[in-house]
Amino acid sequence: MEFLQPVMDGFGVVLDPTNLLYCLLGVVIGMLIGVLPGLGPAATIAILLPLTYGVEPVTAIIMLAGIFYGAQYGGTITSVLLRLPGEASSVVTVFDGYMLAKQGKAGTALGIAAIGSFIGGTVGIIGLTFLAPLVAGFALDFGPPEYAALALLGILLVATISNGSKSKALIAAAFGLLLATVGRDVFTGTERFTFGNMSLADGIDFVPVAMGLFGLGEILYNLEERHRAAKAPAKVANVWPSRADLKQSSGAIGRGSVLGFFLGILPGGGATISSMAAYALEKKRAKNPERFGQGAVEGVAAPETANNAAATSSFIPLLTLGIPANATMALMFGALLIQGVTPGPQLVEQHPDLFWGVVNSMYIGNILLLIMSIPLVGVFVRILRVRAAILAPITALITLLGAYTINNSMFDVSLVVFFGIVGYLMKKFGFEPGPLVLAFVLGELLEANLRRSLLVFNGDLSGVFGRPISLSLLLVFVVVAVWPALKSLLARRQPAAATEPVKTKENA
């Protein structure tokens, strides 16, 4: 029962009127952002970071968390009604969601998505409640070698598991590590890569990087991409699915919850990969897989459940290990640091009100999403009619004003513009900004703990192999690094073996 006491205290934190208001504000903004194609929760959190400076830490993180998981459902609306995924995690929902809408079942698709999102999110929160303290307790045994190995593994996993070209992801991660070295050396005080600019002496601030790459960069890229003619949203009739639809999708919701939860914990996993994996699983085990893509209810239920479960479980490595699992969690990491809170094993003990307040706010936020998701569909459909040429300049102006208010510095505004151009060019040439930001965040952790390890072992890193946790993490690192090359080698050998002539008695 002692374990339940801080959990109950966390509900007391959430039920504070101010925190409830910010929770509601977060999920509404999240749903709105999910509806607007291309902007996304990462960009929104980056833009809103300066606004959280004057807010209590627990209140600010509750709102930002609400934006993250609220956006997962918002992206469903455009996927079903317009065949236009508002979020990357909603891409696979397009396949069957839009076909259901064409058959006059848009309401059924949105209803199933709302129920699946609620169940998946709730399963993820329950898992977070019970698993996160255990992980935090285990992580108390971590020292500098373990943190260095974990940061190294996290960077590699994000770069190799992320969508798109693996080589481009590794290049982006390398650039992020380089950016993390800019500024004054913590150990020697020597300035590195500052080029005599005193504004860079303390390093590059995380917020301008995030606001530029995810905010301004996304705005510029989406303005160029959104040239296609606007589609008329499908009509929404009855939004409550039938008993047959619920029965048909119940298995997909259950499997999506479990799969999404565990994939969300992994660095590089997150909501996008979870939704794709859940869809692939349902299609593979279906008796009639040809139904998928033609309006299968399970094709909506599975990915929408999985992405919400993953969105919640991705908080576990962030809050307990201080390791962000994806780009949005990297922004949450930065938000916590701005508030003077360091994520990691000590968070549960040192800031129990923040830890349990944020965790329990997700229960409330999920209920709010379920209540509001269907009634607000009509409002969101009207928002879709607003032209990007109107929304984009307003968003860009808010981004630049927010950058200036951080330190009242035009240098920060210049950084946002610079990284906005970098973000635009990265998207233009197929580079995802996520690995760069994650490597930038983890770079300082990696360097500091690697150098501390060298001091502990008097410059001999072989001592790391005598510590079971760091050795295990390094072995996983080697497996992940070597596996793609090994897989490619095996793929080459199999066709070669298949083309070899079969020896017969006549040939002999």
In this structure, is residue 150 part of a structural domain? Answer: yes
Q: How far apart are CA 375 and CA 41, in angstroms?
A: 22
Q: Is residue 20 part of a domain?
A: yes
Q: Write out the DSSP string of 35-101.
A: HSTTTHHHHHHHHHGGGGTTS-HHHHHHHHHHHHHHHHHHHHHHHHHHS--SSGGGTTHHHHHHHHH
Helix (H, G, I), strand (E, B) or coil at 200: helix
Give percent of the chain with pLDDT exceeding 90: 3
Q: Identify whether 473 is part of a domain.
A: yes
Q: Is residue 437 part of a domain?
A: yes
* Count of structural domains within the chain: 1
DSSP letter (8 states) at residue 3: T
Please give the pLDDT value at position 197: 84
* Phi-psi region at 183: left, alpha or beta (left = phi > 0; alpha = psi -120 to 50): left
- Mean pLDDT in the chain? 78
Domain coverage including residue 342: 3-484
pLDDT of 269 over the 70 cut: no
Residue 418: the pLDDT is 92
The confidence band for 112, taking pLDDT boundaries of 50, 70 and 90, is confident
Tell me, yes or no, whether 489 lies in a domain: no
Please give the average per-residue pLDDT across 496-503, as a whole number.
55
Total count of residues recorded for the chain: 508
Q: Is a pLDDT exceeding 60 seen at residue 369?
A: yes
> Which pTM value belongs to this model?
0.68
34: in domain: yes
Does 165 map to a domain? yes
Digit-coded pLDDT (tens) for 238-253 = 566 778 888 888 888 9
pLDDT at residue number 254: 92
Q: Is 382 exposed, middle or buried (0-12, 13-18, 19+ CB in 10 A)?
A: exposed
Closest CA to 263 of 250, 276, 282: 276
Is there a domain that residue 502 lies in?
A: no
